[in-house]
Amino acid sequence: MRAIKKESISFFTAFKCASGVVKVLFTSRLGGFSNGNYKSLNLSPYVGDNEKVVKKNREIVASFLSKGKDFVSVEQVHGTNIYRIAGTETGHQKDVRADAIICEVPDIAIGVLTADCVPIVLFDESGRIAAVHAGWKGLCAGIIKKVIKEFLHIDNKEKVRAFVGPAIDVCCYQVGIEVSARFEDIYPGIVINRMGSNYLNLKQIVKMQLEEQGILPENIYISPDCTSCLSELYFSYRKDGGKTGRQAALVLYTRN
Ligand SMILES: [Zn+2]
């Protein structure tokens, strides 16, 4: 088993909950085996990197997770489909097209893969977990609302915690009028105009949409990291010119 290097993790936290522990982990682009545009900890098998190398990279991350099992990820398509974990899955599910995963089974790590889009993980005190991939299209289509509605089968909104991972920030996320117009009327101040160009604050939209669904502000953590500004540390689709790897936002509930 390969041990994960400290530099490969950009954020880690753990919470005690009912008869177990929830772990939240965001990876960086450092400490893996990939080369070229994918250097080095690319965790996505669908962006053109060598599959065997991606497998080795995922093994590095798995060494940090439950029993060394690979995390479950899906083919992300900027939609609002939610995949529910059955309990037998391991690794990447190439036949599943979805942008969120909900898991009520202990000891299965789930994750979303990003390079500028916003990764979000959620969990409650019972150990139910979710991972969400949200770009502007998913946010526009209401993926957060949909996930929260499916995630809460009892009214325990005040117990849900949300972690918003590294993503392209308002400093760098320049958008055209066709994108900014969809958000600026709903969320005043969400688009910033600089030198005649519009910049969209995706993380702030995520925060507001989580709060609209009843998640308490004090239970929402937002990474301050911009993937484009910190492209040495993170994969950035924009900064790397479209051909790049993916980092992961992972969540796992393990029983005591
Ligand atoms: Zn930036």
Q: How far is the CA of 208 from the centre of ligand 1 (A)?
A: 20
> pLDDT tens digits, residue range 50-108?
999 999 999 999 988 878 899 999 999 999 999 999 999 999 999 999 999 999 999 99
Provide the pLDDT for residue 2: 60
pTM, rounded to two decimals? 0.96
Q: How far is the CA of 153 from the centre of ligand 1 (A)?
A: 37
Q: How far is the CA of 198 from the centre of ligand 1 (A)?
A: 14
Half-sphere exposure of 61 (CA within 13 A, CB side): 39
- Please check the confidence at residue 154 and state whether its pLDDT lies above 70: no
Q: How far is the CA of 162 from the centre of ligand 1 (A)?
A: 22
Q: How far is the CA of 171 from the centre of ligand 1 (A)?
A: 4
- With beta carbons less than 8 A apart as the criterion, state whether 192 and 185 touch: no
Q: How far is the CA of 226 from the centre of ligand 1 (A)?
A: 5
Q: How far is the CA of 172 from the centre of ligand 1 (A)?
A: 4
Q: How far is the CA of 158 from the centre of ligand 1 (A)?
A: 31
* CB-count burial class (<10 Å; 0-12, 13-18, 19+) for 80: buried
Q: How confident is the model at residue 152 (pLDDT cuts 50, 70, 90)?
A: confident
Q: How far is the CA of 137 from the centre of ligand 1 (A)?
A: 20
> pLDDT tens digits, residue range 156-199?
788 999 999 999 999 999 999 999 999 999 999 999 999 999 99
**Average predicted confidence (pLDDT) for the chain:** 95
Q: What is the mean pLDDT of residues 6-16?
A: 94
Q: How far is the CA of 173 from the centre of ligand 1 (A)?
A: 7
Q: How far is the CA of 214 from the centre of ligand 1 (A)?
A: 29
- With beta carbons less than 8 A apart as the criterion, state whether 143 and 100 touch: yes
> Looking only at Cα atoms, what is the longest distance across the chain?
55
Q: How far is the CA of 139 from the centre of ligand 1 (A)?
A: 20
Domains and CATH numbers, the chain: 6-255 (3.60.140.10)
